[in-house]
Amino acid sequence: MARTLFIEGFELPLVDIGNEIDHDVIETKYPYQNGADIEDQGVNPESFRFTCLIIDENYEKYFEIRKFFLSRFDVPVMLTHPKLGILMGYPRNASFGEELKKGFVTLNFEFLIDDLQPSKTAYIDILSANEASLKAVVEETIIDIQDLLAAAGVPDVPGSDFSLLDKWAQMGDAARAFASACGATVAKLQGYIAAVQGPIDAISTSIDFIDSLAGNLTRSITECCESFLSLSRKIDFSGNKSASKAVIATLANDLLVASQDLNEAPQGIKNAFNTVAAAMIGYEAARLISSDESALTASMSSEAVQIDDDNGNMLSEPSEAYLVTPAELEDTLAVTRSFINDQIKNSASSNTLKKMASVLAQSILKIKLEFMTTKKIVVHESTPLHAILISQGLSYKAADRVCALNDIVNPTFVEGEVLIYAK
Protein backbone atom coordinates (compact mmCIF):
# COMPACT_ATOMS: atom_id res chain seq x y z
CA MET A 1 0.00 0.00 0.00
CA ALA A 2 1.36 3.38 -0.95
CA ARG A 3 2.05 5.64 1.99
CA THR A 4 0.76 9.19 2.14
CA LEU A 5 2.32 12.35 3.55
CA PHE A 6 0.20 15.17 4.95
CA ILE A 7 1.70 18.65 5.26
CA GLU A 8 -0.41 21.73 6.01
CA GLY A 9 -3.52 20.43 4.23
CA PHE A 10 -1.69 18.87 1.26
CA GLU A 11 -1.98 15.10 0.78
CA LEU A 12 0.92 13.65 -1.23
CA PRO A 13 1.88 10.08 -2.18
CA LEU A 14 5.24 9.19 -0.62
CA VAL A 15 8.06 7.59 -2.57
CA ASP A 16 10.98 7.78 -0.16
CA ILE A 17 11.89 8.94 3.38
CA GLY A 18 15.33 9.79 4.75
CA ASN A 19 16.43 10.86 8.22
CA GLU A 20 19.58 12.67 9.38
CA ILE A 21 20.93 13.14 12.93
CA ASP A 22 23.93 15.45 13.18
CA HIS A 23 26.04 16.16 16.26
CA ASP A 24 27.63 19.58 16.65
CA VAL A 25 31.21 18.55 17.46
CA ILE A 26 34.11 20.86 18.27
CA GLU A 27 37.67 19.65 17.67
CA THR A 28 40.54 21.22 19.61
CA LYS A 29 43.89 20.45 18.00
CA TYR A 30 47.34 21.19 19.40
CA PRO A 31 50.55 21.89 17.47
CA TYR A 32 52.86 18.89 17.09
CA GLN A 33 50.41 16.55 18.80
CA ASN A 34 48.46 13.82 17.06
CA GLY A 35 44.72 13.58 17.48
CA ALA A 36 42.38 16.14 19.01
CA ASP A 37 40.15 16.78 22.01
CA ILE A 38 36.53 16.26 21.01
CA GLU A 39 33.64 18.08 22.68
CA ASP A 40 30.07 17.23 21.75
CA GLN A 41 27.99 20.44 21.87
CA GLY A 42 24.73 18.55 21.37
CA VAL A 43 22.53 17.40 18.51
CA ASN A 44 21.56 19.79 15.73
CA PRO A 45 17.87 19.91 14.71
CA GLU A 46 16.81 16.52 13.43
CA SER A 47 16.22 16.54 9.68
CA PHE A 48 13.93 14.44 7.48
CA ARG A 49 14.07 14.14 3.68
CA PHE A 50 10.93 13.31 1.71
CA THR A 51 10.32 12.40 -1.91
CA CYS A 52 6.68 12.81 -2.94
CA LEU A 53 4.59 12.81 -6.08
CA ILE A 54 2.26 15.59 -7.18
CA ILE A 55 -0.22 13.89 -9.47
CA ASP A 56 -2.32 16.52 -11.23
CA GLU A 57 -2.87 16.69 -15.00
CA ASN A 58 -3.59 20.42 -14.90
CA TYR A 59 -0.67 21.17 -12.51
CA GLU A 60 -2.95 23.34 -10.35
CA LYS A 61 -1.92 21.47 -7.22
CA TYR A 62 1.74 21.80 -8.23
CA PHE A 63 1.48 25.60 -8.33
CA GLU A 64 -0.34 25.67 -4.98
CA ILE A 65 2.36 23.56 -3.31
CA ARG A 66 5.11 25.59 -4.97
CA LYS A 67 3.54 28.78 -3.60
CA PHE A 68 3.41 27.16 -0.17
CA PHE A 69 7.14 26.41 -0.20
CA LEU A 70 7.90 29.94 -1.44
CA SER A 71 6.19 31.48 1.57
CA ARG A 72 7.90 32.49 4.83
CA PHE A 73 7.04 30.32 7.81
CA ASP A 74 6.50 32.47 10.91
CA VAL A 75 5.41 29.50 13.00
CA PRO A 76 6.21 25.79 12.81
CA VAL A 77 4.44 23.78 10.11
CA MET A 78 2.56 20.57 10.94
CA LEU A 79 3.60 17.42 9.05
CA THR A 80 2.14 13.95 9.56
CA HIS A 81 4.82 11.28 9.27
CA PRO A 82 3.43 7.84 8.26
CA LYS A 83 5.13 6.16 11.27
CA LEU A 84 6.09 8.91 13.72
CA GLY A 85 2.80 10.80 13.56
CA ILE A 86 2.58 14.60 13.87
CA LEU A 87 5.86 16.52 13.64
CA MET A 88 6.25 20.27 13.97
CA GLY A 89 9.04 22.02 12.09
CA TYR A 90 10.13 24.02 9.09
CA PRO A 91 10.36 22.90 5.43
CA ARG A 92 13.47 23.86 3.45
CA ASN A 93 15.37 23.08 0.26
CA ALA A 94 12.40 22.02 -1.85
CA SER A 95 13.06 20.92 -5.43
CA PHE A 96 10.59 19.95 -8.18
CA GLY A 97 11.06 17.68 -11.16
CA GLU A 98 8.41 17.66 -13.88
CA GLU A 99 7.71 14.42 -15.70
CA LEU A 100 6.02 16.00 -18.75
CA LYS A 101 5.16 12.76 -20.55
CA LYS A 102 3.82 10.99 -17.47
CA GLY A 103 1.91 13.98 -16.14
CA PHE A 104 3.25 14.20 -12.58
CA VAL A 105 5.77 16.21 -10.57
CA THR A 106 8.40 14.83 -8.19
CA LEU A 107 8.88 16.89 -5.02
CA ASN A 108 11.98 16.55 -2.82
CA PHE A 109 12.25 18.57 0.37
CA GLU A 110 13.86 18.65 3.81
CA PHE A 111 11.99 19.15 7.05
CA LEU A 112 13.75 20.43 10.24
CA ILE A 113 12.15 19.41 13.52
CA ASP A 114 11.35 22.31 15.85
CA ASP A 115 11.98 20.65 19.20
CA LEU A 116 14.50 21.86 21.78
CA GLN A 117 15.57 18.90 23.89
CA PRO A 118 16.15 19.62 27.57
CA SER A 119 19.82 19.88 28.47
CA LYS A 120 21.20 17.05 30.60
CA THR A 121 22.92 19.62 32.80
CA ALA A 122 20.00 22.05 32.89
CA TYR A 123 19.38 21.52 36.61
CA ILE A 124 22.95 21.08 37.81
CA ASP A 125 23.99 23.34 40.67
CA ILE A 126 27.01 24.76 38.85
CA LEU A 127 28.59 26.19 41.99
CA SER A 128 28.46 22.84 43.83
CA ALA A 129 29.61 20.98 40.71
CA ASN A 130 32.62 23.19 40.07
CA GLU A 131 33.49 23.38 43.77
CA ALA A 132 33.67 19.57 43.75
CA SER A 133 35.79 19.71 40.60
CA LEU A 134 38.16 22.24 42.18
CA LYS A 135 38.65 19.94 45.17
CA ALA A 136 39.28 17.04 42.78
CA VAL A 137 41.90 19.07 40.91
CA VAL A 138 43.70 19.91 44.18
CA GLU A 139 43.69 16.25 45.23
CA GLU A 140 44.98 15.22 41.79
CA THR A 141 47.68 17.90 42.06
CA ILE A 142 48.96 16.40 45.31
CA ILE A 143 49.36 13.03 43.57
CA ASP A 144 50.99 14.69 40.55
CA ILE A 145 53.52 16.52 42.73
CA GLN A 146 54.26 13.29 44.61
CA ASP A 147 55.04 11.67 41.25
CA LEU A 148 57.25 14.63 40.26
CA LEU A 149 59.21 14.37 43.52
CA ALA A 150 59.61 10.61 43.11
CA ALA A 151 60.80 10.99 39.51
CA ALA A 152 63.41 13.55 40.66
CA GLY A 153 64.61 11.29 43.49
CA VAL A 154 63.22 13.51 46.25
CA PRO A 155 61.54 11.69 49.18
CA ASP A 156 58.12 13.00 50.13
CA VAL A 157 58.91 13.28 53.82
CA PRO A 158 56.51 14.62 56.51
CA GLY A 159 56.55 18.37 57.08
CA SER A 160 56.99 21.38 54.84
CA ASP A 161 60.68 22.34 55.07
CA PHE A 162 62.46 21.37 51.87
CA SER A 163 65.79 22.51 53.36
CA LEU A 164 65.77 19.48 55.66
CA LEU A 165 66.52 17.37 52.62
CA ASP A 166 70.07 18.74 52.57
CA LYS A 167 70.79 16.24 55.31
CA TRP A 168 69.86 13.29 53.12
CA ALA A 169 73.25 12.00 52.05
CA GLN A 170 71.75 9.55 49.56
CA MET A 171 70.25 12.35 47.44
CA GLY A 172 72.12 13.25 44.26
CA ASP A 173 72.86 16.73 43.00
CA ALA A 174 69.89 16.72 40.61
CA ALA A 175 67.50 15.76 43.41
CA ARG A 176 68.93 18.47 45.68
CA ALA A 177 68.51 21.07 42.93
CA PHE A 178 64.89 19.97 42.38
CA ALA A 179 64.16 20.12 46.13
CA SER A 180 65.83 23.53 46.41
CA ALA A 181 63.74 24.86 43.52
CA CYS A 182 60.55 23.55 45.17
CA GLY A 183 61.55 25.21 48.44
CA ALA A 184 62.09 28.53 46.64
CA THR A 185 58.66 28.13 45.02
CA VAL A 186 56.97 27.65 48.40
CA ALA A 187 58.69 30.78 49.70
CA LYS A 188 57.50 32.76 46.67
CA LEU A 189 53.93 31.51 47.11
CA GLN A 190 53.93 32.35 50.81
CA GLY A 191 55.19 35.82 49.91
CA TYR A 192 52.22 36.33 47.59
CA ILE A 193 49.82 35.19 50.31
CA ALA A 194 51.33 37.64 52.82
CA ALA A 195 51.34 40.52 50.33
CA VAL A 196 47.72 40.07 49.24
CA GLN A 197 46.48 39.63 52.83
CA GLY A 198 43.18 38.28 51.62
CA PRO A 199 41.04 35.91 53.67
CA ILE A 200 41.37 32.31 52.58
CA ASP A 201 38.16 30.99 51.03
CA ALA A 202 36.37 27.94 52.38
CA ILE A 203 37.79 25.72 49.64
CA SER A 204 41.29 25.19 51.06
CA THR A 205 39.97 24.84 54.62
CA SER A 206 37.73 21.97 53.51
CA ILE A 207 40.50 20.01 51.74
CA ASP A 208 42.52 17.38 53.59
CA PHE A 209 46.11 18.24 52.65
CA ILE A 210 48.46 15.46 53.67
CA ASP A 211 51.29 16.47 55.99
CA SER A 212 54.14 15.97 53.55
CA LEU A 213 56.24 18.07 51.20
CA ALA A 214 53.82 17.37 48.31
CA GLY A 215 50.75 18.14 50.46
CA ASN A 216 52.17 21.37 51.84
CA LEU A 217 53.41 22.55 48.43
CA THR A 218 49.90 21.95 47.04
CA ARG A 219 48.42 23.80 50.02
CA SER A 220 50.65 26.81 49.29
CA ILE A 221 49.60 26.77 45.63
CA THR A 222 45.90 26.58 46.54
CA GLU A 223 46.04 29.28 49.22
CA CYS A 224 48.01 31.58 46.90
CA CYS A 225 45.35 31.24 44.19
CA GLU A 226 42.62 31.85 46.79
CA SER A 227 44.39 35.00 47.97
CA PHE A 228 44.24 36.43 44.45
CA LEU A 229 40.60 35.33 44.30
CA SER A 230 39.82 37.37 47.43
CA LEU A 231 41.69 40.34 45.98
CA SER A 232 39.71 40.27 42.72
CA ARG A 233 36.44 40.39 44.67
CA LYS A 234 37.47 43.61 46.45
CA ILE A 235 38.11 45.69 43.35
CA ASP A 236 35.62 48.48 42.64
CA PHE A 237 34.24 48.08 39.14
CA SER A 238 32.59 51.51 39.07
CA GLY A 239 29.14 50.32 40.06
CA ASN A 240 28.87 47.77 37.26
CA LYS A 241 25.97 45.58 38.34
CA SER A 242 27.38 42.66 36.38
CA ALA A 243 31.05 42.57 37.33
CA SER A 244 31.50 38.90 36.42
CA LYS A 245 33.69 39.49 33.38
CA ALA A 246 35.79 42.10 35.20
CA VAL A 247 36.34 39.86 38.24
CA ILE A 248 37.33 36.88 36.09
CA ALA A 249 39.60 38.96 33.86
CA THR A 250 41.34 40.49 36.90
CA LEU A 251 41.77 37.11 38.56
CA ALA A 252 43.10 35.52 35.35
CA ASN A 253 45.59 38.33 34.83
CA ASP A 254 46.87 38.19 38.43
CA LEU A 255 47.31 34.42 38.31
CA LEU A 256 49.06 34.61 34.94
CA VAL A 257 51.53 37.20 36.28
CA ALA A 258 52.17 35.06 39.38
CA SER A 259 52.79 32.01 37.20
CA GLN A 260 55.28 33.88 35.04
CA ASP A 261 57.08 35.01 38.20
CA LEU A 262 57.69 31.45 39.40
CA ASN A 263 61.02 31.29 37.62
CA GLU A 264 62.63 29.07 40.26
CA ALA A 265 59.93 26.42 39.98
CA PRO A 266 60.52 23.24 37.96
CA GLN A 267 58.24 23.16 34.94
CA GLY A 268 56.09 20.36 36.39
CA ILE A 269 55.46 22.38 39.58
CA LYS A 270 54.64 25.45 37.50
CA ASN A 271 52.16 23.34 35.49
CA ALA A 272 50.60 22.26 38.80
CA PHE A 273 50.18 25.92 39.80
CA ASN A 274 48.56 26.73 36.43
CA THR A 275 46.21 23.76 36.81
CA VAL A 276 44.98 24.84 40.25
CA ALA A 277 44.73 28.44 38.96
CA ALA A 278 42.53 27.32 36.04
CA ALA A 279 40.29 25.33 38.40
CA MET A 280 40.05 28.34 40.74
CA ILE A 281 38.90 30.54 37.84
CA GLY A 282 36.34 27.90 36.82
CA TYR A 283 35.04 27.80 40.39
CA GLU A 284 34.79 31.60 40.64
CA ALA A 285 33.06 31.83 37.24
CA ALA A 286 30.49 29.30 38.46
CA ARG A 287 29.90 31.35 41.62
CA LEU A 288 29.44 34.56 39.65
CA ILE A 289 27.20 33.01 36.98
CA SER A 290 25.08 31.35 39.67
CA SER A 291 24.76 34.72 41.41
CA ASP A 292 23.86 36.40 38.11
CA GLU A 293 21.15 33.81 37.49
CA SER A 294 19.63 34.26 40.97
CA ALA A 295 19.64 38.04 40.69
CA LEU A 296 18.20 37.88 37.18
CA THR A 297 15.36 35.65 38.34
CA ALA A 298 14.58 38.01 41.22
CA SER A 299 14.69 41.04 38.92
CA MET A 300 12.35 39.50 36.36
CA SER A 301 9.96 38.48 39.14
CA SER A 302 9.96 42.05 40.43
CA GLU A 303 8.91 43.30 36.99
CA ALA A 304 5.58 41.57 37.53
CA VAL A 305 4.99 43.29 40.88
CA GLN A 306 2.67 46.29 40.81
CA ILE A 307 4.46 49.30 42.33
CA ASP A 308 1.85 52.00 41.67
CA ASP A 309 -1.92 52.22 41.58
CA ASP A 310 -4.20 53.46 38.81
CA ASN A 311 -3.64 57.06 39.88
CA GLY A 312 0.14 56.75 39.81
CA ASN A 313 0.56 56.62 43.59
CA MET A 314 3.60 54.59 44.65
CA LEU A 315 2.66 51.33 46.39
CA SER A 316 6.21 50.05 46.86
CA GLU A 317 9.73 50.98 45.98
CA PRO A 318 10.92 49.73 42.57
CA SER A 319 13.67 47.12 42.79
CA GLU A 320 17.11 47.88 41.43
CA ALA A 321 17.46 46.88 37.79
CA TYR A 322 19.71 43.94 37.00
CA LEU A 323 21.75 44.75 33.94
CA VAL A 324 23.44 41.49 32.98
CA THR A 325 23.19 40.73 29.26
CA PRO A 326 23.80 37.63 27.12
CA ALA A 327 26.99 39.22 25.80
CA GLU A 328 28.32 39.72 29.35
CA LEU A 329 27.67 36.08 30.19
CA GLU A 330 29.40 34.96 26.99
CA ASP A 331 32.39 37.20 27.74
CA THR A 332 32.73 35.71 31.23
CA LEU A 333 32.66 32.22 29.74
CA ALA A 334 35.15 33.15 27.00
CA VAL A 335 37.77 34.48 29.44
CA THR A 336 37.36 31.42 31.67
CA ARG A 337 37.53 28.86 28.89
CA SER A 338 40.51 30.59 27.29
CA PHE A 339 42.53 30.27 30.51
CA ILE A 340 41.43 26.67 31.05
CA ASN A 341 42.20 25.64 27.46
CA ASP A 342 45.70 27.09 27.73
CA GLN A 343 46.45 24.77 30.67
CA ILE A 344 44.76 21.56 29.53
CA LYS A 345 47.59 20.16 27.42
CA ASN A 346 50.10 20.40 30.28
CA SER A 347 47.76 19.39 33.09
CA ALA A 348 47.39 16.11 34.94
CA SER A 349 43.73 17.09 35.52
CA SER A 350 42.72 17.83 31.94
CA ASN A 351 39.47 15.82 32.11
CA THR A 352 38.36 17.59 35.30
CA LEU A 353 39.12 21.01 33.80
CA LYS A 354 37.17 20.11 30.65
CA LYS A 355 34.23 19.08 32.83
CA MET A 356 34.30 22.46 34.61
CA ALA A 357 34.31 24.36 31.31
CA SER A 358 31.47 22.19 29.98
CA VAL A 359 29.30 22.79 33.08
CA LEU A 360 29.79 26.55 32.71
CA ALA A 361 28.89 26.47 29.00
CA GLN A 362 25.75 24.40 29.58
CA SER A 363 24.65 26.62 32.47
CA ILE A 364 24.97 29.80 30.41
CA LEU A 365 23.05 28.13 27.59
CA LYS A 366 20.28 27.27 30.08
CA ILE A 367 20.12 30.88 31.33
CA LYS A 368 19.98 32.25 27.79
CA LEU A 369 17.28 29.81 26.72
CA GLU A 370 15.08 30.27 29.80
CA PHE A 371 15.55 33.96 30.55
CA MET A 372 17.58 35.67 27.85
CA THR A 373 16.13 34.68 24.50
CA THR A 374 16.33 37.83 22.40
CA LYS A 375 14.87 39.02 19.15
CA LYS A 376 15.52 42.03 16.94
CA ILE A 377 12.71 44.36 15.96
CA VAL A 378 12.79 47.35 13.63
CA VAL A 379 11.15 50.55 14.90
CA HIS A 380 10.41 52.66 11.82
CA GLU A 381 9.72 55.91 13.65
CA SER A 382 10.69 57.39 17.00
CA THR A 383 8.59 55.53 19.59
CA PRO A 384 8.55 55.50 23.40
CA LEU A 385 10.52 52.49 24.65
CA HIS A 386 7.86 51.66 27.23
CA ALA A 387 5.23 51.49 24.49
CA ILE A 388 7.42 49.13 22.48
CA LEU A 389 7.89 46.83 25.47
CA ILE A 390 4.17 46.69 26.20
CA SER A 391 3.41 45.98 22.54
CA GLN A 392 5.84 43.04 22.70
CA GLY A 393 4.20 41.59 25.80
CA LEU A 394 6.88 42.79 28.24
CA SER A 395 6.47 44.89 31.36
CA TYR A 396 7.49 48.53 30.99
CA LYS A 397 9.71 47.89 34.04
CA ALA A 398 11.97 45.77 31.77
CA ALA A 399 13.22 49.01 30.18
CA ASP A 400 16.48 49.02 32.16
CA ARG A 401 17.35 45.49 31.07
CA VAL A 402 16.57 46.33 27.46
CA CYS A 403 18.66 49.51 27.67
CA ALA A 404 21.61 47.45 28.86
CA LEU A 405 21.03 44.95 26.09
CA ASN A 406 21.31 47.72 23.49
CA ASP A 407 24.01 49.69 25.37
CA ILE A 408 21.84 52.81 25.63
CA VAL A 409 21.11 54.93 28.69
CA ASN A 410 17.55 55.75 29.76
CA PRO A 411 16.08 56.70 26.38
CA THR A 412 12.57 58.10 26.15
CA PHE A 413 12.24 57.29 22.45
CA VAL A 414 14.04 54.75 20.25
CA GLU A 415 14.19 54.17 16.53
CA GLY A 416 15.79 51.68 14.17
CA GLU A 417 16.92 48.15 15.12
CA VAL A 418 16.28 47.31 18.79
CA LEU A 419 17.13 44.10 20.62
CA ILE A 420 14.53 43.05 23.17
CA TYR A 421 14.07 40.03 25.39
CA ALA A 422 11.44 37.58 24.19
CA LYS A 423 8.55 37.14 26.59
**pLDDT greater at residue 297 or residue 335:** 335
When pLDDT is cut at 50, 70 and 90, the band that residue 1 belongs to is very low
Residue 107 pLDDT greater than 80, yes or no: yes
Digit-coded pLDDT (tens) for 304-330: 555 555 555 554 455 555 567 787 888
CA distance 100 to 292: 63
Residue 257 pLDDT greater than 80, yes or no: yes
Structural fold of domain 4-113 = Elongation Factor Tu (Ef-tu); domain 3 (2.40.30)
**pLDDT greater at residue 392 or residue 227:** 227
When pLDDT is cut at 50, 70 and 90, the band that residue 99 belongs to is confident
CA distance 316 to 307: 5
**Cβ–Cβ < 8 Å for 414, 388:** yes
Amino acid present at 163: S
pTM: 0.64
Residue 277 pLDDT greater than 90, yes or no: yes
Q: What's the chain's average pLDDT?
A: 81
Q: 355-383 burial, b for 16+ CB within 10 Å, e for fewer?
A: bbbbbbbbbbbbbeeebbeeeeeeeeeee
**Helix, strand, or coil (residue 337):** helix
When pLDDT is cut at 50, 70 and 90, the band that residue 119 belongs to is very low
**Cβ–Cβ < 8 Å for 7, 54:** no
In angstroms, the first-to-last Cα distance of the chain is 46
Strand partners, 383: 414
When pLDDT is cut at 50, 70 and 90, the band that residue 362 belongs to is confident
CA distance 229 to 202: 12
Task: Give the count of alpha carbons within 13 A of 17, CB side only.
Answer: 14
- Greatest mean pLDDT among 28-32, 47-51, 76-80 lies in 47-51
Average pLDDT score over residue span 352-369: 82
DSSP 8-state code for residue 308? B
CA distance 283 to 256: 17
Percent of the chain with pLDDT strictly greater than 70: 84
CA distance 5 to 11: 6
Q: 95-127 burial, b for 16+ CB within 10 Å, e for fewer?
A: eeeeeeeeebbebbbbbbbeeeeeeebeebebb
Amino acid present at 190: Q
Q: How far is CA 365 from CA 173, 362, 371, in A?
A: 53, 5, 10
Average pLDDT score over residue span 74-81: 84
Digit-coded pLDDT (tens) for 283-305: 999 988 888 777 777 766 666 55
Burial class (CB in 10 A: 0-12, 13-18, 19+), 389: buried
**Cβ–Cβ < 8 Å for 383, 413:** yes
DSSP letter for each residue of 244-294: HHHHHHHHHHHHHHHHHT-TTS-HHHHHHHHHHHHHHHHHHHHHHHHHHHH
Name the least confident of 130-134, 182-186, 195-199, 205-209: 195-199
Digit-coded pLDDT (tens) for 44-64: 888 999 999 888 766 778 888
Digit-coded pLDDT (tens) for 134-174: 999 999 999 999 999 999 888 888 888 787 776 666 778 88
- Tell me phi and psi for residue 28, to 5 degrees: -110, 115
DSSP letter for each residue of 348-372: TTHHHHHHHHHHHHHHHHHHHHHT-
